[in-house]
């Protein structure tokens, strides 16, 4: 007699190859439309699922976990970040949590460099002029930006993505500096020709570009607060492809509007998709709708990791990408 297949509830639409494989392997409940579940719908899904596959748009806190059914034993997150999941509460209820680390590293690093170039070389300004049909021909003083070659890049968070950003920036001739909870091992640090700063304040004050590549945790909330932003050079640029909560968005907006910073490239925002409207008005700011990991290849790889985690769990083993409280 065949074993009963796990009932897997997926909260958002995923790439077709991923959904097809989920249906082949499990009793998968898929979404017909690509909208986020309401809190009530999410709570109901958790009651009937053996495995829940959520995304960053699904806040899973202690209150909603208390409504989960006895069936739910694994939350196989589709994504690397799990700050939207109360991992401690899940563990106390006997629910394992897994994620998809490493998959988005290269894609997010690519987007970080793209934002650096877009801000420093004024690409949006040129694009807007061309799309509006306003270009009147080349001029030696038009759209003057700045080089990134030779500039100092300060990376805040030197994990997988931070190191991938460093490798790309090194190829562009940037000087690599970083602040991290722990200094990298010499064999990792040396090839990047990276300078470690124990003091974040001292590093921030000396950089031309700051790249945010750390997770959102209680200790990193508003790590780039008003005081620290004021330490940056007036010509400094800040780029964030990590988590919006790391920057005090209101303070950043005030400084950009006052001309106290050179520019910003933001792919993530403090309040999700509710962006400070004053940011949209600024010509020295490039805003993207959380596109850092948005490649088809990356999304499929994320799905493959989710499937591997579920399949390993179904076979009676711990998921290879299990997340424990305090890990991230």
The domains of the chain, with CATH numbers, are 7-103+295-314 (3.40.50.720), 105-287 (3.40.50.720)
H or E segment and range at residue 73? none
- pTM to 2 decimal places: 0.88
Tokens at 269, concatenated: 């925002």
Residue pair 150/173 in contact (Cβ under 8 Å)? The answer is yes
Residue appearing with tokens 């968070």: 157
The pLDDT assigned to 231 comes to 98
Interatomic CA distance for residues 313 and 140, integer angstroms? 62
Rounded-to-integer distance, Cα 107 and Cα 130, Å: 28
pLDDT of amino acid 128? 92
Q: Residue 265: which H helix or E strand, with range?
A: strand 263-266
What is the sign, positive or negative, of the torsion defined by CA atoms of 10, 15, 18, 20? positive
The structure tokens listed for 152 are: 């100092």
Separation between Cα atoms, residue 70 and residue 76, nearest integer Å:
16
The helix-helix angle for 105-120 and 123-131 (nearest 10°) equals 70
Residues of the chain with pLDDT under 50: 1-2
Instruction: Enumerate residues 6+ apart whose C-beta is below 8 A from 302.
Output: 18, 78, 79, 100, 103, 104, 293
pLDDT tens for each residue of 96-129:
999 999 999 999 999 999 999 999 999 999 999 9
What is the radius of gyration, based on Cα positions, of the chain? 22
pLDDT at 2: 46
Rounded Cα–Cα distance for residues 8 and 313 (Å):
12
Token pair 């999700």 in the structure block, residue: 272
Helix locations, the chain, DSSP H: 16-25, 39-48, 62-65, 87-92, 105-120, 123-131, 160-171, 186-192, 200-204, 226-229, 249-257, 296-314
Q: What is the pLDDT of residue 64?
A: 97
With beta carbons less than 8 A apart as the criterion, state whether 71 and 8 touch.
Answer: no
- Smallest Cα–Cα separation from 232: which of 196, 213, 259? 259
The predicted pLDDT at position 3 comes to 58
């Amino acid at each position: 007699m065949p074993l009963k297949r796990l009932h897997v509830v997926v909260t958002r639409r995923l790439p077709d190859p991923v959904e097809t494989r989920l249906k082949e392997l499990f009793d998968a409940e898929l979404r017909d439309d690509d909208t986020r579940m309401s809190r009530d719908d999410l709570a109901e899904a958790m009651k009937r699922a053996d495995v829940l596959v959520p995304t960053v748009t699904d806040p899973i806190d202690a209150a909603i976990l208390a409504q989960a059914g006895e069936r739910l034993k694994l939350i196989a997150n589709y994504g690397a970040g799990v700050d939207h999941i109360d991992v401690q509460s899940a563990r106390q209820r006997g629910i394992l949590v897994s994620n998809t680390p490493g998959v988005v590293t290269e894609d997010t690093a690519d987007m970080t460099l793209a934002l650096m170039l877009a801000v420093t070389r004024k690409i949006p300004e040129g694009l807007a002029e061309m799309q509006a049909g306003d270009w009147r021909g080349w001029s030696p003083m038009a759209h003057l930006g700045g080089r990134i070659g030779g500039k100092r890049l300060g990376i805040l968070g030197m994990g997988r993505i931070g190191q991938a950003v460093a490798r790309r920036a090194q190829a562009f001739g940037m000087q690599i500096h970083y602040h991290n909870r722990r200094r990298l091992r010499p064999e990792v640090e040396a090839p990047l020709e990276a300078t470690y700063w124990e003091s974040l304040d001292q590093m921030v004050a000396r950089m031309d570009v700051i790249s945010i590549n750390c997770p959102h945790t209680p200790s990193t909330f508003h790590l780039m607060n008003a005081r620290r932003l004021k330490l940056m050079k007036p010509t400094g640029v800040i780029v964030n492809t990590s988590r919006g909560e790391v920057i005090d968005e209101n303070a950043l907006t005030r400084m950009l509007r006052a001309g106290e910073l050179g520019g910003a490239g933001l792919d993530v925002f403090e309040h999700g998709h509710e962006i400070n409207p004053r940011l949209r008005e600024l010509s020295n700011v490039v805003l993207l709708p959380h596109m850092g990991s948005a490649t088809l290849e990356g999304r499929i790889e994320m799905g493959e990791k989710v499937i591997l985690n579920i399949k390993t769990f179904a076979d009676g083993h711990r998921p290879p990408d299990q997340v424990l409280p305090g890990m991230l």
